[in-house]
């Protein structure tokens, strides 16, 4: 894959999140001028980008607010727009279905409109999700598998997905959907299952906690390492024609396997007394098993994820152990799930 010509400009929504921060680093290393859209919060949330904040441009914007999105596009004059911002947590979407629809669904349409009116030659990446497949109608899923979302989050992502296809077909815009399966890292939000486990195991190992509470151990997901998936986003936008791609490892593992590997990694093979199943974390409708077939991405983008499931678990647990052990301010001041 060739590197980007110097002087390209990218606008990333959701730059403070897991994927946005990895993508920003990668685009900087490819010579891009990077603009990141951030929304106003009472306490700024820039821990994922503090190491690059001097090398990027932060612009104000909120996916609720059309004028702010147009202003972000006008200011950044992007060649590429990566729409990664979302209310991204499936569990919360059941309690906040309207906000999730507004941000995760309509927010994508607002970004498409901002691009159409201010930068119609730009290329657009939409962060679509395997949660759109929900109660799967076939396994593994491909780009042709019908959607059956099982949460307000999944429903909102389906809406955004079809809006992207529609803007591509109606207006000839360069808009692509990355249908990505779960990808995790040491920057994953604390409420997400894998991070809850890696952080919980680290705290138990260091004597700061005794148990982790989870909703189920039987759910299966296709889990990969986030920086490999953000590299795929960039590869998608280097294609001359827009297209939709699945990003997945092609291996499904259970929550039980994740928990087991994490505890074994810190020398606690008998972990049953450290895990409590709590029905409060169960969802009104769950997604049992997701498994992606990424052969289209392999063939057309040359994208092959290399980090294996067991490596991912180790990376996350080691990072949380370091974080707790090295906290200059004392572990009690760190944030946990």
Which tokens go with 152? 């307000």
| Token digits of residue 98 | 């309207």
Q: Is the peptide bond before 140 cis (omega within 30 degrees of 0)?
A: yes
C-beta of 129 vs 204, nearer to ligand NAP: 129
Answer yes or no whether residue 100 interacts with ligand NAP by CB under 6 A: no
H/E segment holding residue 24: helix 18-29
CB count in 10 Å sphere of residue 146: 10
Long-range contacts for 312-316 (Cβ within 8 Å, ≥24 apart)?
312/184, 312/194, 312/223, 312/224, 312/225, 313/198, 313/258, 313/261, 313/262, 313/265, 314/261, 314/265, 315/185, 315/186, 315/225, 316/184, 316/185, 316/186, 316/188, 316/194, 316/195, 316/198, 316/262
70 binds ligand NAP (CB under 6 A): no
What is the Cα–Cα distance from 240 to 230, expressed in whole angstroms? 19
Please say which residue, 18 or 293, places its beta carbon nearer to ligand NAP: 18
Residue 114 found at the interface with ligand NAP (CB under 6 A): no
Shortest Å, Cβ 184 to ligand NAP:
7
- Binding of ligand NAP at residue 86 (CB under 6 A)? yes
- Which residue, 168, 163, 162, 271, is CA-closest to 210? 271
Query: Least Å distance between CB 296 and ligand NAP?
Result: 17
Q: Which of 68, 129, 130, 151 is catalytic?
A: 129
Q: Which of 109, 20, 15, 102 is nearest to 64 (CA)?
A: 102
Q: Where are the beta strands (DSSP E) in 118-269?
A: 123-129, 174-180, 183-184, 212-214, 220-221, 224-225, 245-247, 253-254
Within 183-212, the residues that bind ligand NAP by CB under 6 A are 183, 189
Please list the alpha-helical segments (H only) found in 87-143: 90-95, 97-100, 107-118
Q: Decide whether 13 or 243 has the Cβ nearer to ligand NAP.
A: 13
> From the list 3, 6, 29, 41, which residue makes contact with ligand NAP (rule: CB under 6 A)?
41
- Active site includes 129? yes
Region from 57-65, 113-121, 271-279, 312-320 binding ligand NAP, contact rule CB under 6 A:
57-65
Binders in 125-154 for ligand NAP, by CB under 6 A? 127, 129
Q: Does 45 bind ligand NAP (CB under 6 A)?
A: yes
Member of 9, 18, 186, 258 binding ligand NAP (CB under 6 A)? 18
Catalytic residue among 35, 82, 153, 161: 153
CB of 41 to ligand NAP, least distance (A): 5
Active site residue 169: no
Q: Contacts with ligand NAP: how many residues (CB under 6 A)?
A: 25
**19 lies in the binding site for ligand NAP (CB under 6 A):** yes
Nearer to ligand NAP, 290 or 321 (CB): 290
- Considering only 8, 28, 30, 39, the residue that binds ligand NAP (CB under 6 A) is 39
Question: What are the start-end ranges of the E strands in the chain?
Answer: 9-13, 33-38, 57-60, 80-83, 123-129, 174-180, 183-184, 212-214, 220-221, 224-225, 245-247, 253-254, 275-277
227 touches ligand NAP by CB under 6 A = no
The residue within the footprint of ligand NAP, chosen from 9, 16, 79, 140 (CB under 6 A), is 16
> Is residue 17 near ligand NAP by the rule CB under 6 A?
yes
Residues designated catalytic: 129, 131, 153
Residues making contact with ligand NAP (CB under 6 A)? 13-14, 16-20, 39, 41, 45, 62-64, 84-88, 103, 127, 129, 180, 182-183, 189
């Amino acid at each position: 894959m060739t590197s980007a010509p110097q002087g390209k400009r990218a606008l990333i929504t959701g730059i403070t999140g897991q994927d946005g921060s990895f993508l920003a680093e990668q685009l900087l290393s490819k010579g891009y001028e990077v603009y990141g859209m951030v929304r106003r919060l009472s306490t700024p949330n820039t821990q994922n980008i503090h190491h690059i904040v001097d090398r990027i441009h932060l612009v104000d914007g909120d996916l609720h607010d059309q004028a702010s999105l147009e202003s972000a596009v006008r200011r950044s004059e992007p060649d590429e727009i990566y729409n990664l911002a979302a209310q991204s947590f499936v569990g919360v979407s059941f309690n906040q279905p309207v906000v999730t629809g507004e941000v995760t669904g309509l927010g994508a349409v607002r970004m498409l409109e901002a691009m159409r009116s201010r930068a119609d030659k730009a290329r657009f990446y939409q962060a679509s999700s395997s949660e759109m497949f929900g109660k799967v109608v076939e396994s593994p899923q491909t780009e042709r598998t019908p959607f059956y979302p099982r949460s307000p989050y999944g429903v909102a992502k389906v809406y955004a997905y079809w809006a992207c296809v529609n803007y591509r077909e109606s207006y000839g815009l360069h808009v692509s959907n990355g249908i990505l399966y779960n990808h995790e890292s040491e920057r994953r939000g604390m409420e997400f299952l894998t991070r809850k486990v890696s952080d919980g195991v680290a705290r138990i190992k260091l004597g700061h906690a005794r148990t982790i509470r989870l909703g189920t151990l039987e759910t299966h997901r296709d889990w990969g390492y986030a920086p490999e998936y953000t590299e795929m986003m960039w590869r998608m936008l280097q294609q001359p024609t827009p297209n939709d791609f699945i990003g997945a490892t092609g291996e499904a593992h259970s929550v039980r396997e994740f928990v087991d590997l994490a505890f074994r990694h810190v020398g606690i093979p008998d972990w049953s007394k450290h895990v409590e199943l709590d029905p409060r974390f169960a969802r009104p409708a769950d997604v049992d098993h997701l498994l992606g077939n990424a052969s289209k991405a392999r063939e057309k983008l040359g994208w092959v994820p290399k980090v294996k499931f067991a490596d991912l678990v180790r990376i996350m647990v080691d990072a949380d152990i370091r974080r707790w052990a090295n906290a200059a301010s004392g572990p009690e001041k760190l944030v946990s799930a």
